[in-house]
Structure 1
């Protein structure tokens, strides 16, 4: 079946956002603290804020100062967005190729929508994405299918005509629940061997390999 649109996860799939998140964590650590481990931050980024605060600051949601620290972390991150975030290598060329074919693309992420919008703006992509659905756009986020189905409605394209690309098992689960193929990426925040176990419809070693799945 010919696909008519592509939806992407953001963190780890469309772009490497972990460096800016690491900077936000460092802003909250005591002066003189060693840098946070980049690889551990990358993996925590795939899970979300709870994992990032646990990894970078040793905080758990039941701690008294968790909510205040979470708010401070997100404020630092919002200020730092675009400092070191970059599209994954080869991704801009893939977006160019999609647009040359007349295929719309969009972003479905668990990141809060306003932060995701700032990331896209920092990358110069905010005017190119046909839709953006964040983790707080709807009542439920991935791995529920709701955000992907909402993105399809925004684009006016049936779910089975779309394809979703992500770097987390929840991305593949959400895609299948929405009735669309889900492709895992080997260049995201999960190890390739782990990604191979998710039951995805394909594993992309590079972004360019996506184009072969669209015909």
Structure 2
């Protein structure tokens, strides 16, 4: 529990894929392997990268198209997850500047954690492989609770595990469901534009409190969060 921070923000929570970690190299590689197994041409890396935040189902649909049967789609998703699990952390790493951002938060006694829709059997070993599991104050996976984003309950649960109010949290994500969940939970929400956003998306319409282009901009919002809190107090 933070005790000496100069900021009103007491916890910063992150989505995993496309926000905290650049998992695209390993997730796209698993899709390539699956496509190769079935004799299907691989997909352009950048197109696949844009779908990473949406998980296995979206990647399989991208690779095999909308016309595949439900049975084939399910089978391919299961095989995809097996291939991905076998090569979970080959080229995955923190986004540029994130290591310094996390260290700053820790130095300021501000907790940080992860709220993701990625299943726990992938999330937990990935965090452990990067030596982040012990540093993170909470890790909520897509199957940790009955609800998952865009439902706000995972964020409520994460705040509870950190022993902070949701209004004392910033949530950073790269998908619309992240912003919707964070807003519903009463958190300050930041859209990570450096993440896996589809070319056809309109993130400026998702309702985030701010859009950041680099991880270090998260730190700027620690001060902005203080200003927002003062504005709210004055309004009341």
TM-score, length of structure 2 as denominator length: 0.85
**Alpha-carbon distance, 1:34 to partner:** 4.2
* Structure 1 outlier segments of 4+, above 6 Å: none
Match of residue 180 from structure 1? 187
Partner deviation per Cα, 1:181-200 (whole Å, 9 max, x = no partner): 11111211116983222111
- Does residue 29 of structure 1 match 2:35? yes
- Does residue 145 of structure 1 match 2:152? yes
Match of residue 129 from structure 1? 136
Partner deviation per Cα, 1:46-99 (whole Å, 9 max, x = no partner): 222211110123366843223222211111111111111121110111001000
Compare CA radii of gyration and give the structure with the larger one: 2
Partner deviation per Cα, 1:131-179 (whole Å, 9 max, x = no partner): 1001111111000101000101111111111110000111111001001
Secondary structure of the corresponding residue to residue 11 of structure 1 = coil
1:41-60 matched pairs, under 5 angstroms: 41-58=48-65
Equivalent residues, number: 215
Change (3 A) 1:29 1:199: same
Distance 1:80 1:161 in 2: 37
Match of residue 97 from structure 1? 104
Structure 1 unpaired stretches of 5+: none
Secondary structure of the corresponding residue to residue 29 of structure 2 = helix
- Does residue 201 of structure 1 match 2:193? no
Structure 2 unpaired stretches of 5+: 1-6, 224-236
- Does residue 75 of structure 1 match 2:82? yes
TM-score, length of structure 1 as denominator length: 0.93
